[in-house]
């Protein structure tokens, strides 16, 4: 009987220890889960299709719907690919490829015309991990300038190639050069004629001259990638090159700070190193992403006539779509519940 009583007490002791261990394990599991939740890498994507004098009264309902539908589709598909673990470089390149294929945007097939009736294309791409970058300017026979910019980054010792040299590099890297007639879009040609007519009458034509496309992502591996592609300015002369292929002006990416793609009057964006200035304000002055974008776009550029805007994101996945013009084709999405698809102010 005494032995039975001792055995019963021993069993109760074991049960108590088991219960304590379960509580301890439960507590450890909860802490581990919390830590894992806190360390989830944010992801985000922002895109733009150009900024300028974009007025609702000048855009038909059907055309406005076409822009919004396309922007929404691109931002949703790009974000889904980031969620699935696709690297940022691939997402940026493919999103911009799609925009380069669309006559809705001043890039690739929708590029505007130079004064002599040609299409000259510029693009750049930058990876924020080691600040690697590639760019091309003034190419006329490359269907996807952003893809060639990536090849410059990955397959050469250079950052920026231009004109016939860039096309020679393209051919040596397996890029099929196309007939320039591929880029002809009637509405873009009519814009050239309209601008030249106004120019002959000494009228202001600046508001019709620019547009760009761009994409910036923060991927699941903490890498920030930014890319920009453009057909430049309508009626541009003398081989003019804007900010889009200039690293630090139209494009910038740095994993420790921000990624930026710009659109607007390129001369101002070059002179004020807009993309890098935003990163510097974030990194060295400690401004938030939005405050940095506001300072550059509204306080520095706007007073001197630097019309345009940027799409940007920071290393935390916060986004900014900031412009001082009448409109900017834009979209953004992150895993903090932000989704924006818009055109006008």
Residue 204 CB contacts under 8 Å (≥ 6 apart), including other chains: 198
Cα separation of 178 and 193, whole Å?
A: 25
Query: Tokens at residue 237, please?
Result: 């002369």
Query: Tokens at residue 179, please?
Result: 């007939």
Q: Is 212 a catalytic residue?
A: yes
Using CA atoms, how far residue 22 sits from 8, 69, 319, in Å, is 21, 53, 43
Cα separation of 343 and 66, whole Å?
A: 11
Residue 127 CB contacts under 8 Å (≥ 6 apart), including other chains: 88, 89, 133, 153, 223, 224, 225, 253
Helix ranges restricted to H, 84-185: 88-101, 145-155, 163-172
Residue with tokens 């016939």: 164
The catalytic residue among 114, 205, 212, 263 is 212
Q: Report, as residue numbers or ranges, the catalytic residues.
A: 212
């Amino acid at each position: 009987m005494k032995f039975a009583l001792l055995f019963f007490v021993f069993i109760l002791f074991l049960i108590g220890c088991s219960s304590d261990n379960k509580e301890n394990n439960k507590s450890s599991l909860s802490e581990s889960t919390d830590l894992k939740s806190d360390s989830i890498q944010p992801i985000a994507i922002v895109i733009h299709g150009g900024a300028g004098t974009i007025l609702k009264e000048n855009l038909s309902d059907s055309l406005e719907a076409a822009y919004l539908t396309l922007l929404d589709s691109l931002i949703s598909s790009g974000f889904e690919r980031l969620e699935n673990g696709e690297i940022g470089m691939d997402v940026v390149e493919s999103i911009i490829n799609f925009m380069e294929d669309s006559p809705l945007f001043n890039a690739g097939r929708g590029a505007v015309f130079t004064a002599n009736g040609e299409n000259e294309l510029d693009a750049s791409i930058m990876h924020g991990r080691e600040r690697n970058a590639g760019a091309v300017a003034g190419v006329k026979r490359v269907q996807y300038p952003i893809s060639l910019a990536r090849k410059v980054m990955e397959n050469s010792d250079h950052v920026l190639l231009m004109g016939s040299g860039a096309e020679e590099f393209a051919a040596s890297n397996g890029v099929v050069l196309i007939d320039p007639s591929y880029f002809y879009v009637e509405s873009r040609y009519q814009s050239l004629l309209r601008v030249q007519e106004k120019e002959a009458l000494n009228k202001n034509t600046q508001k019709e001259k620019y547009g760009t496309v761009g994409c910036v992502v923060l991927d699941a591996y903490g890498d920030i990638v930014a890319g920009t592609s453009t057909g430049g300015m309508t009626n541009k002369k003398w081989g003019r090159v804007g900010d889009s292929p200039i690293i630090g002006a139209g494009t910038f990416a740095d994993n420790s700070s921000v990624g930026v793609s710009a659109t607007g009057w390129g001369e101002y964006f070059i002179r004020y190193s807009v993309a890098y200035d935003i990163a510097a304000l974030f990194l060295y002055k400690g401004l938030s992403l939005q405050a940095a974008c506001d300072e550059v776009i509204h306080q520095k550029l706007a007073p001197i006539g630097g019309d345009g805007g940027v799409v940007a994101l920071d290393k935390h996945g916060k986004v900014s779509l900031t412009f001082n013009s009448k409109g900017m084709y834009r979209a953004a999405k992150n895993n903090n519940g932000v989704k924006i698809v818009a055109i006008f102010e």
